[in-house]
């Protein structure tokens, strides 16, 4: 039976949900407060430089391809991508430089050469990550954690019988220290906790599953940059009949009895059989459902980290840098303590630099590079962001200049800055958190808000603030889960 379905927000999860639902014959309309689709995954141009404004890492392309295949379309008719290897360049203050290949044999051999850890030990660590992914994927990624039917599946029962291998009662850092030993290699693998905005020194060892994303499938870049992911989904959605209403902010989800029955915008009221919110779950309740209490302990859960991003047009090319680059902090544990306890950024933060012009030459003028420079930041908690921005900018410029042995300040020809308050205002991400709640608790996956609510029928949720979590692959899966539920 076909339904009229309204979707609030056109982020990656909202676009995914719209495609899955329209592919089933439903009449789908997406409402977007901005003039463009994509949520955090957007782009802008400034002074001859193009920047991807949001997510910069593309892994597990099979999940994106699956959205097109669900609609009976060939993904290659909409976008193309290529593998990038080495995936990332890593730099330490003592001059150590490590290029991380996604080829397990090469990575293990290189790690042995650089860090002195036996390659058999490194290879075993990565294989353990693969095994953990295989154990947990059906439970934690591909199905609703909050439906009894999930737990009756044979794959789920098999997964639970092996959860003792998931390191739920050890921190990610502790597991990495035990398995790898060398502090630089431990730091390398601890960083994967940041892929969902968490702290490796308190998050459970289950997060050692994250390296699977890159080592099993690799790191990729879409032709045209990351924004091409948004546009390909948007074009597909339109091709299969999804309607979009841009510049139309939703003010309320209307309800009757115990069920959702429509969407009220600043322009008019629209009746729907079902409603899907791709908006962060907390503002969904607070702003759109003010008469309904936020369920459980969603509000009290620890928020994920955010980001402070400097978009710099650099009037020089650096041969030692690649698409993805990490300049490590000398005080990694302290960096996370300050982020999550004191809600601030230390003077020596880890610096990430993404440069798409390494592969997309049109993204920067000839002889120049477009730098997306990011440091982990705390969520909004009453800080003086103007002061944090100023201090961090100076610290980041100093660190990059020191490690690349080049004064980069005079090379910055254009600049834009994105901080957590702007992330919150532009994307409705509660407190500017990039991934909703953190995964610093071993029960975090079960505490994350479901993709539906038993309190309000015909209302569903997708996106980084709900199950299964943030990041492009999980948001795509979130949309698919809603497509399966809202039938």
* Rounded Cα–Cα distance for residues 364 and 355 (Å): 10
Q: Which long-range contacts (CB under 8 A, 24 or more apart) does 193-197 make?
A: 193/439, 194/305, 194/376, 195/57, 195/471, 196/304, 196/435, 196/438, 196/439, 196/469, 196/470, 196/471, 197/304, 197/305, 197/306, 197/433, 197/434, 197/435, 197/438, 197/439, 197/470
Banded pLDDT at 20 (limits 50, 70, 90):
very high
Q: Do residues 208 and 230 both lie within one domain?
A: no
Does the pLDDT value for residue 169 go beyond 80?
A: no
Let me know whether 210 and 253 are in one domain. Answer: no
| Range 115-128 average pLDDT | 97
Domain boundary among 200, 216, 232: 216
* pLDDT value of position 437: 87
Residue 448 confidence (pLDDT): 79
Q: Is residue 363 in a domain?
A: no
Task: Tell which of 153, 182, 216 closes a domain.
Answer: 216
* Residue 17: inside a domain: yes
Is 402 within a domain? no
Position with higher pLDDT, 151 vs 422? 422
pLDDT (0 to 100) of residue 125: 96
Q: What are phi and psi of 48, to 5 degrees?
A: 90, 0
Inter-residue contact 264 to 250 (CB < 8 Å): yes
Q: Is the peptide bond before 468 cis (omega within 30 degrees of 0)?
A: yes
Instruction: Record the tokens describing residue 184, joined without a space.
Output: 């630089």
Tokens matching residue 135? 């154990």
Alpha-carbon gap, residue 136 to 306, rounded angstroms: 26
Distances (CA, A) of 43 to 38, 231, 328: 9, 11, 27
Domain assignment of residue 165, yes or no: yes
Same domain, residue pair 198 and 140: yes
209 plus 237 within the same structural domain: no
The predicted model scores a pTM of 0.93
Q: Which residue has the tokens 């020089």?
A: 316
The domain of 13 spans 4-41+223-299+435-485
Q: Among the three residues 185, 216, 247, which one is the final residue of a domain in this structure? A: 216
**Residue 303 DSSP class:** B
**255 belongs to a structural domain:** yes
Residues 229 and 281 occupy one common structural domain: yes
Are 205 and 119 in the same domain? yes
Q: Is the pLDDT at 156 greater than 80, yes or no?
A: no
Q: Is residue 18 part of a domain?
A: yes
> Is 171 inside any structural domain?
yes
Whole-number Å distance between alpha carbons of 141 and 440 = 18
Domain count, the chain: 2
Task: Answer yes or no: do 132 and 281 share one domain.
Answer: no
Check whether residue 206 and residue 233 sit in a common domain: no
Higher pLDDT, 249 or 157: 249
Contact 240, 22 (CB under 8 A): yes
What's residue 440's pLDDT? 78
The Cβ of residue 254 has, within 10 Å, a number of other Cβ atoms equal to: 17
Same domain assignment for residues 118 and 208: yes
Same domain, 151 and 242: no
* pLDDT at residue 151, rounded to an integer: 46
Would you say residue 135 lies in a domain?
A: yes
Verify that 211 and 227 share a domain, yes or no.
Answer: no
pLDDT band at 152 (very low <50, low <70, confident <90, very high): very low
204 and 248 fall within a common domain: no
CATH classification at residue 263: 3.50.50.60
pLDDT of res. 154: 56
Cα dihedral 386, 392, 393, 398, rounded to 10, equals 150
Q: Provide mean pLDDT across the span 81-85.
A: 96
What are 406-456's pLDDT values in tens digits?
999 999 999 999 999 999 999 999 999 999 888 777 655 556 788 999 899
Q: Backbone phi, then psi, for 27, in 5-degree steps? A: -95, 110
pLDDT tens-digit map of 347-374: 999 999 999 999 999 999 999 999 999 9
């Amino acid at each position: 039976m076909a339904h009229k379905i309204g979707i609030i927000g056109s982020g990656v999860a909202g676009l995914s949900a719209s495609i899955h639902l329209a592919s089933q014959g439903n009449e789908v309309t997406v409402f977007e407060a901005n003039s463009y689709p994509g949520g955090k995954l957007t782009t802008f141009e400034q002074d001859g430089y193009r920047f991807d404004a949001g997510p910069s890492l593309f892994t597990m392309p099979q999940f994106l391809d699956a959205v097109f295949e669900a609609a009976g379309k060939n993904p290659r008719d909409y976008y193309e991508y290529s593998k990038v290897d080495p995936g990332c360049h890593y730099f330490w203050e003592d001059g150590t430089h490590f290029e991380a290949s996604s080829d397990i044999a090469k990575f293990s051999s290189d790690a042995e050469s650089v860090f002195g850890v036996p390659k058999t030990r490194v290879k075993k660590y990565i294989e353990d990550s693969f095994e953990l992914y295989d154990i947990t994927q059906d439970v934690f990624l591909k199905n609703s954690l909050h439906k009894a039917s999930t737990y009756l599946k044979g794959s789920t029962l098999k997964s639970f019988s092996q959860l003792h291998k998931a390191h739920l009662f050890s921190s990610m850092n502790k597991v990495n220290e035990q398995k790898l030993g060398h502090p630089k290699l431990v730091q390398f693998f601890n960083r994967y906790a940041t892929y969902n905005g968490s702290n490796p020194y308190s998050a459970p060892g289950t997060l050692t599953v994250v390296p699977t994303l890159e080592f099993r499938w690799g790191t990729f870049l879409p032709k045209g940059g990351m924004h091409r992911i948004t546009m390909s989904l948007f074009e597909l959605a339109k091709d299969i009949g999804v309607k979009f209403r841009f510049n139309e902010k939703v003010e309320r989800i209307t309800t009757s009895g115990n069920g959702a029955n429509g969407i009220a915008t600043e322009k008019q009221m629209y009746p729907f059989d079902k409603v899907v919110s791709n908006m962060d779950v907390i503002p969904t309740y607070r702003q759109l459902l003010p008469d309904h209490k936020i369920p459980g302990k969603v509000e009290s859960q620890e928020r994920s980290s955010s980001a402070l991003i400097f978009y710099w047009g650099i009037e020089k090319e650096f041969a030692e840098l690649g698409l993805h680059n990490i300049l490590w902090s000398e005080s990694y544990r302290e960096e996370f303590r300050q982020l999550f306890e004191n809600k601030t950024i230390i003077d020596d933060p880890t610096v990430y630099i993404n440069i798409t012009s390494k592969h997309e030459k049109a993204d920067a003028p000839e002889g120049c590079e477009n730098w997306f420079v990011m440091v982990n930041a705390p969520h909004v908690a009453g800080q003086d962001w103007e002061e944090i921005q100023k201090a961090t900018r100076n610290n980041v410029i100093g660190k990059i200049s020191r490690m690349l042995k080049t004064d980069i300040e005079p090379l910055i020809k254009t600049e834009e800055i994105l901080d957590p308050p702007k992330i919150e205002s532009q994307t409705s991400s509660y407190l500017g958190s990039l991934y909703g709640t953190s995964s610093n608790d071993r029960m975090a996956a079960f505490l994350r808000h479901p993709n539906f609510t038993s309190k309000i029928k015909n209302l569903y949720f997708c996106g980084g603030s709900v199950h299964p979590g943030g990041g492009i692959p999980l948001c795509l899966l979130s949309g698919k889960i809603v497509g399966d539920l809202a039938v």
